[in-house]
Amino acid sequence: MISVMRAVGFCGVLAAAVAVAVEQRDSLSKPSKTLAAVLLQATSDDRFNYVSSPFAGSAIFTLIAEGADAETKSQLVQAMGGVLPDKSSYKELFTSIKSYLSDRNQQNKVVLKNFLYVYKNYSVIDSFAELARDYYLADVRTVARPDLEVVRAVTADGAGAEDDAVEGFKEHAMLAFNGFTLEMSWPTSTWHKTSVSWNGNVVRAFGAAGNFAIGRIPSIDSTVFQLPYKNTDYALLVVLPNKKDTTLKEVMEKLAQTTFDKLLEATSMVPAFVTMPCFQSNNITYMKTVMQQNTVLKNVFTDSADLTKLSSDKLYLDDMVQQTGIRMCTDGASSYSLTSSAFTLQRVVKDSVVADRPFLYALYNVANNVIYVAGKLERPVWEETADNEEEDNGDSATDAETIKT
């Protein structure tokens, strides 16, 4: 009887441990999924390429929530999907994504840079600065505020400052900046160089035969497929409209009724040949405008913000600026590169997917479903680098955009 009770007790502990693990996984993934949807929806009317890092953005907002209270914190929690991960979960994930080491065949490198800038003479509580550094890899730095220095200089000269000028500096502000870079390379023998016709133009592409997770989803009239990065926990999920005349805005409107997890569940492994265009994108997103217009998150960006756990001064978040880039092709050690995890002979291939029209994509962690990068491709743009000086297909236009809405 005792042994049976111990067995039951062990099962209970194991079940509890699994439940905790699932809860921690969901708490990390939900903010990134929520923010991915917000950022993509905010650009749905624009017909240009866009890329962002929902994970990096959620990390900063969660960090700010650590220093928030009352309504400000409530808005932050709502904007992140109703849940904020524990700081230890972020620390564990940050440590994990930086743990990929170089080997003979490929070099994986993740660079995540978070900064919280506060104007000089405004303080940040030491314990918050330590928490930001230790759990969120975010450096708190002070910067000079030029317009404020001018007023101080005028006052020091004895000329005095106008009351309305001094009045303008009672609003204390700070700026958060984060950047996310993922660089991977893999043996070019895995994929072969090819081309696709995109709106009548021939563009550089790469393809491979293998076992891929593919799903046809009638509710969004699109094909979903996954491309796993070799020897990593990362994969790229692509949502490709079935019809060339379907706009990404139409797809996103239908996607609002489903979830990221349901997209993954709709796929199954099949022998297939997949062809992807080479593309790159680089964007700067001003989160203040996006979040204020598309979520409940408002007062953290105003002087009504309650950040008393962050600073004894009345600070608010002036803006959060994010820069994200992606580069994907077969060549170049600094490319964002993909490879199938299992390859098969061409003669048994039963399916074929050619990404020759606009699509949505999300680079995510298979183990915890955290979305690191989310974007949309309206047209392929590719520039050769010093690592690869072969001639391209004539399209060398830059694709840097500033996104405010």
Give the model confidence (pLDDT) of 270-320 as tens digits: 998 899 999 988 888 999 999 999 999 999 999 899 999 998 888 888 888
Lowest model confidence (mean pLDDT) among 166-170, 237-241, 360-364: 166-170
CB burial of 49-68 (b: ≥16 within 10 Å; e: otherwise) equals bbbbbbbbbbbbbbbbbbbb
Cβ neighbours of residue 393 under 8 Å, at least 6 residues apart? 195, 201, 202, 203, 204, 382
- For residues 187 and 337, what is the distance between their CA atoms, to the nearest angstrom? 10
CATH of 15-182+282-325, one of 2.40.50.140, 3.40.250.10, 3.90.550.10, 3.30.497.10: 3.30.497.10
Q: What type of residue is 341?
A: S
Please tell me what DSSP assigns to residue 388.
Answer: B
| pLDDT for 97 | 66
C-alpha separations of 203 from 67, 192, 278, 288, 380 in Å:
48, 14, 8, 36, 7
Q: What is the pTM of this model?
A: 0.79
Domain range annotation of the chain: 15-182+282-325, 183-280+328-403
pLDDT digit string, tens, across residues 187-223: 444 678 889 999 999 999 988 888 899 999 999 999 9
CB burial of 245-283 (b: ≥16 within 10 Å; e: otherwise) equals ebebebbbeebeeeebeebbebbeebbbbbbbbbbbbbb
> At residue 129, what are phi and psi to the nearest 5 degrees?
-60, -40
Tokens representing 352 are 């074929």
Read off the pLDDT band of 99 (50, 70, 90): low
Mean pLDDT to the nearest integer, 139-163: 55
Within a 10 A sphere around the Cβ of 150, how many other Cβ atoms?
12
| pLDDT for 246 | 94
Task: Name the helix (H) or strand (E) containing 174.
Answer: strand 172-183
CATH topology of domain 183-280+328-403: Alpha-1-antitrypsin; domain 1 (2.30.39)
> At residue 326, what are phi and psi to the nearest 5 degrees?
-140, 140
| pLDDT for 21 | 42
Calculate what percentage of the chain has a pLDDT beyond 70.
Answer: 67
pLDDT: which is higher, 392 or 360:
360
